[in-house]
Each structure stands twice: as C-alpha cells, then as structure tokens.
Structure 1
C-alpha cells in the first residue's frame, strides 16, 4: 500500500466544522489514502496566523478546500488557498454538502471545479486524479 498523503483541510470554521470533522473521520478508514495533518487555524486574526498556516503547509502533500454555502465569504479560506498556491501545493475543492449550493473561495481560479464528495472521488482526487 502506498504511503498515505498528508492532507491540510481548509474550511469555513464558522459554518462547516461538522463537515470537516466527518472528512477527518474518513482519514481513519482502513483503505484511506490520506492522513489528516492539520486544519484551518481557528483564531483567524490573532498574531501572524498566515505564518502558522505557511509552516503547517510545509509538511503536507495535498490541500483540500472544503466548500460550503458561505465559503465565498470566508477570508481565511481564501488566504489559505493563496498560501497553498504560492507554495505550489496541489489542491482541490470539495463540496461539503451534496444537498446544498457550495461556493468557492474568492481566491479559487474560475477553472477550479468543485468536486462531489464521495469516497471513491476523494481517493481519486487525493491521488492526483483531477
């Protein structure tokens, strides 16, 4: 079995924490291709939180941006995605909910697709299939 990818999950702390907890739970499944490293910094505006995020991203292979209904208003998610891009980290956008309209962070490219969250999709996306 290949080494698990280390994943950073960027998400809207105020609105999508439940979805992040479910995603982190999937990392514990026996056939999971990823290991949950770190997530968004809760205290967005204290100290130099962007520097903390940069350091955390040094140790990850892939960044998952969980997209909820208000992700387009989450400045922290937009900043985290910008940091991931600046570091050249592969990333993808994942719809946090199948039954709601999920929005992209403002820093996402117009060509960035929001992928449906299924176990098979997640495994493919983490292994670079996008």
Structure 2
C-alpha cells in the first residue's frame, strides 16, 4: 500500500511539538500517510522561503494544518495555505490539542478532531 505524501503546516513558534507528534504517528506501521516536509522556522525567513515552501507543497498530495490557539494568525501557515490553494493541493485541518476549541485557518477547509480514526480516514 502506497502512503499519502503529506506536508505538515503548523505555527512553528507556538506549536512545534504538534509537528513532532504527527511525524511520530506517520511512523506507525499502520499509518496511511508519510510526512514529506513541514513548516520552516519563519522568525528569520530566508529570501527563497516562498519558493522552497511551494516546491515542498507541490511534492505533497495533501497539506495537513495542525491547529493551535494562534494558528489562524500565523503568517507562515497563512502563506502555506495560500500556496496549497494556488497549487490545487487539498488541505485538512486538525485540532492539535484535546482541550482546544480554536478558530479555523481561513481558506483551509473544515476543522477535525485529532484522533487516529480521523487521521486514517482523512489521510488515506
């Protein structure tokens, strides 16, 4: 079975651990997806960051946005979502914390709870 190639977008400054957790789940034997790339640290963005992000998103079959309290305002995430939309790459949003009721990222589709059944269904 071929695994779906996923680009993980997250608010790097506030929720980097969400990226680490989803990468861990991608490594499980029964995972239907693999993480091919993820958000880059944007505090000191390189001049070619948009070009590199676009290339990474184009290599992916889906963009997975890991949503935390401030993700809907994170400039890097907003740019990655815009790039995915421009490239026609589907986007899925997952709430990153069990106790979270956070705003969705604009233009990134419906928000889903983070559980293994949802991941398997959405990312297979």
Q: TM-score under structure 1 normalisation? A: 0.89
Residue by residue over 1:16-56, the C-alpha shift from the partner in whole angstroms, topping out at 9 and shown as x without a partner, is 11111111100110000011111001135221211110111
Within a 5 Å distance, the mapping from 1:64-83 to structure 2 comes to: 64-83=64-83
Query: RMSD over aligned Cα, in angstroms?
Result: 1.3
Gaps of 5+ in 2: none
Across the two proteins, how many residue pairs are aligned to each other? Answer: 123
Gaps of 5+ in 1: none
- Structure with the bigger percentage of helix: 2
How far apart are 1:65 and its partner, in Å? Answer: 0.6
2:90 corresponds to which residue?
Answer: 90
Given that residues 11 and 17 in structure 1 are in contact (C-alpha distance below 8 angstroms), is that contact kept between their aligned partners in structure 2? yes
Q: TM-score under structure 2 normalisation? A: 0.93
- Cα distance in 2 for residues equivalent to 1:60 and 1:73: 23
- Cα distance in 1 for residues equivalent to 2:85 and 2:9: 13
